[in-house]
A and B are shown apart, each in its own frame.
Chain A
Amino acid sequence: MSMTREILKRNFSNTLNKSIRNSSLLVINNAGRINTCFASLRHQSTAAGSSTEVSSTDAHSSAAASLSATPLYNIKDTPTFQDYKGYFKSLQQAVVELPEDLVSKSTKLSTLHARLHLPSELKLSTLSQALNCRSSKLVGTLHDNYNLSILGKNVLIYELTKYLNVKYPRLPLPIFNSCIDYLMGTETLHLLGKFVWGIELEKTTVMSRYLQKEPIEQTLGRLRYYDNEVVNEKGVELYKIHKSNKVVSEEAAYSLAVKSIVGGLHLDTGFNTEIIQQFIENNFIRKIPVAKIFQFTEPIRELTRLCERENLAKPMSKLISESGRLSKAPIFIVGVFSGAEKLGEGFGSSLKEAKTKAATDALLKYYCYEPVNSSAQNENTVQVIDKGSVIV
């Protein structure tokens, strides 16, 4: 085991890289097609130190130059190229078939598996599949994470909706959706996948991986989301090349990967509800600052309507205390009462402001209500069913 986890990296790769940067650049596309159209598809050539010299590094001029330039000899015939082609093929095959012996060698996959405390039912091959986005174009549509991500999204949203219905039964629908977004929106899942789970991106090209003689299983543990034929340079953004090739952002890719891991877990554990609930509870459920989401347009009117619906006495605002009415910085404390019962309290530098804040406070107390024995596991104990928010 320890041997498989060790990677002996040879130090010549750095020097090799340096020599490549100085010597030659060629325009090569997928499996040897000479591509002359896109400057962004430039690749570092295999023929390190050989005499091949095609174009300058300048982006725009190189595209134009390589259009007219013809290679000095057919690059497809060189043994180095055949070697690279073989590497590419075996890489593609590995990603499609995900053979168990190769997958188990991948240290990145097994450490990710251990880091997330995933159960052993979740196979490493499924985990690797979850990291392969459809937009990476390395494999056909059958072996990417598309299905897993849809499954994961549905499981997540279902479990979280159930959780929120139990925890905060009275949230109005827009707020409710906002909470769901806070728990499983693209932004959140991106941060979770990148900075908490520590999923790595595959940023190097297949060519440079080949040059560094990187073992193929290494890429199986990284998130592949764009065409790794293409050099990903800082400041240069990849735009749509083909109609079928949908370019996704890094954020979207991470969120797809996270959803897919959830989906993969659910699939491999045979749709076991308990395991998935535990996993979601451990990783996705967090404290939501619910009261900060609300922004009422007409709180006083809404409170009146609410009391009318709940058969409470009409809410009355009363001044509780004040200080410095005639000064430049007065403060008023206003409470809103329904009969003898105090619904909310607010402060403000004018009576009107304090009154509005009191009504807002009362509404927040109603909408953000948490039942005492709320627990997501005991579905049968749901006591409060929302009547729906008040329509002003």
Chain B
Amino acid sequence: MPVAVNPIKLKSIVQTGIKQYIPACRKITIQYCNWGGSSEGIRQYLKSGQINKLLETNRHIEFEIVNKNGTHPVITGHYANQRIKPICIRNLTGTRIEEKLNLIKSSSGSVLRNVAKNKNVQSNSDSVRGIWSPVHVDPTSRYNV
């Protein structure tokens, strides 16, 4: 008896569930220097306790604060797609630091690219309208070879 239907193996793809989004950022490392002038802003930020609010609202992100003397301060995002995004925050203060933290927090971690061009539109779904076909038009007005 011949096998009537053979399954073709589908390639698995990375995809979150349909109903639930899982944030891509899993860890943020804040690295600062105890003495450097470029770290002044981040030192103030850490001392002021503003970071606590960030910790409370982002329980899904692991925060690591590293003291590394003799370097510029850096904040690094670690993402589920196994990439990292380091941003240097030298000489930045309060609100600018928060901006950078937000940027890291909400980023997907994938490579940056220009999404303005139409070629970047991708979908796994078929087009809703379908594709126009010349051989399905009314036979009286159809062009025949």
- Would A and B touch once assembled, by the CB under 8 A criterion? yes
One of B5, B12, B15, B20 near A297 (C-beta < 8 A):
B5
Binary contact track B1-28/A, C-beta < 8 Å → 1, others 0 = 1111111111011111111101110110
One of A2, A117, A175 near B51 (C-beta < 8 A):
A2
CA distance A175 to B17 in the complex (A): 22
Contacts of B125 in A (CB 8 A): 287
Contacts of B45 in A (CB 8 A): none
Is there contact, CB below 8 Å, between A195 and B23?
no
Interface residues of chain B: helix, strand, loop or mixed (majority): loop
CA distance A365 to B79 in the complex (A): 41
Q: Please, which residue of chain B has its CB at the minimum distance from the CB of A324?
A: B145
Tell me, yes or no, whether A72 is within 8 Å of chain B by CB. no
Is there contact, CB below 8 Å, between B124 and A289?
yes
Is there contact, CB below 8 Å, between B6 and A289?
no
Is there contact, CB below 8 Å, between B64 and A111?
no
Is there contact, CB below 8 Å, between A323 and B144?
yes
CA distance A298 to B4 in the complex (A): 6
CA distance A323 to B134 in the complex (A): 9
Binary contact track B26-43/A, C-beta < 8 Å → 1, others 0 = 110000000000000000
B12 shortest CB reach to chain A, Å: 4
Tell me, yes or no, whether A64 is within 8 Å of chain B by CB. no
Tell me, yes or no, whether B59 is within 8 Å of chain A by CB. yes
Is there contact, CB below 8 Å, between A198 and B80?
yes
Is there contact, CB below 8 Å, between A2 and B12?
no
Is there contact, CB below 8 Å, between B12 and A195?
no
Q: Please, which residue of chain B has its CB at the minimum distance from the CB of A190?
A: B12
CA distance A297 to B2 in the complex (A): 8
Stretch in B86-94, B97-105, B113-121, B135-143 with 4+ CB within 8 Å of A: B135-143
Binary contact track A153-183/B, C-beta < 8 Å → 1, others 0 = 0000000000000000000101101100110
CA distance A302 to B20 in the complex (A): 40
One of A7, A182, A285, A288 near B64 (C-beta < 8 A):
A7
Tell me, yes or no, whether B106 is within 8 Å of chain A by CB. no
Is there contact, CB below 8 Å, between B8 and A296?
no
Known: A182-B12, A197-B22. Contact between A321 and B17, CB under 8 A? no
Known: A321-B139, A323-B145, A324-B145. Contact between A294 and B5, CB under 8 A? yes
Stretch in A140-148, A276-284, A309-317 with 4+ CB within 8 Å of B: A276-284
Contacts of A114 in B (CB 8 A): 59-60
Tell me, yes or no, whether A18 is within 8 Å of chain B by CB. no
Contacts of A321 in B (CB 8 A): 135-136, 139, 142
Binary contact track A182-203/B, C-beta < 8 Å → 1, others 0 = 1001011001101111100000
Known: A293-B8, A298-B2, A323-B134. Contact between A282 and B51, CB under 8 A? no
Tell me, yes or no, whether A110 is within 8 Å of chain B by CB. yes
Tell me, yes or no, whether B52 is within 8 Å of chain A by CB. yes
Known: A111-B62, A297-B4. Contact between A282 and B15, CB under 8 A? no
Is there contact, CB below 8 Å, between B136 and A115?
no
Tell me, yes or no, whether A389 is within 8 Å of chain B by CB. yes
CA distance A354 to B16 in the complex (A): 38
Contacts of A385 in B (CB 8 A): none
Tell me, yes or no, whether A1 is within 8 Å of chain B by CB. yes
Is there contact, CB below 8 Å, between A185 and B145?
no
CA distance A7 to B31 in the complex (A): 12
CA distance A220 to B4 in the complex (A): 50
Is there contact, CB below 8 Å, between B80 and A197?
yes
Known: A2-B51, A289-B124, A323-B135. Contact between A196 and B16, CB under 8 A? yes
Contacts of A191 in B (CB 8 A): 12-14
5 shortest A-B CB distances, which residue pairs?
Answer: A198-B80, A282-B20, A178-B7, A324-B145, A114-B59
Could you list 17 examples of A-B contacts with CB < 8 Å?
A: A2-B51, A10-B67, A110-B59, A174-B6, A191-B12, A195-B81, A195-B82, A196-B16, A197-B80, A282-B20, A283-B16, A287-B124, A293-B10, A294-B7, A297-B2, A322-B135, A391-B1
Question: Beyond A198-B22, A286-B15, A324-B145: 10 further Cβ-contacts under 8 Å?
Answer: A177-B7, A178-B8, A195-B82, A287-B124, A293-B10, A297-B3, A297-B5, A391-B1, A392-B2, A392-B4
What is B's interface to A at a CB cutoff of 8 Å?
1-10, 12-20, 22-24, 26-27, 51-52, 55-56, 59-69, 79-82, 124-125, 134-136, 139, 142, 144-145
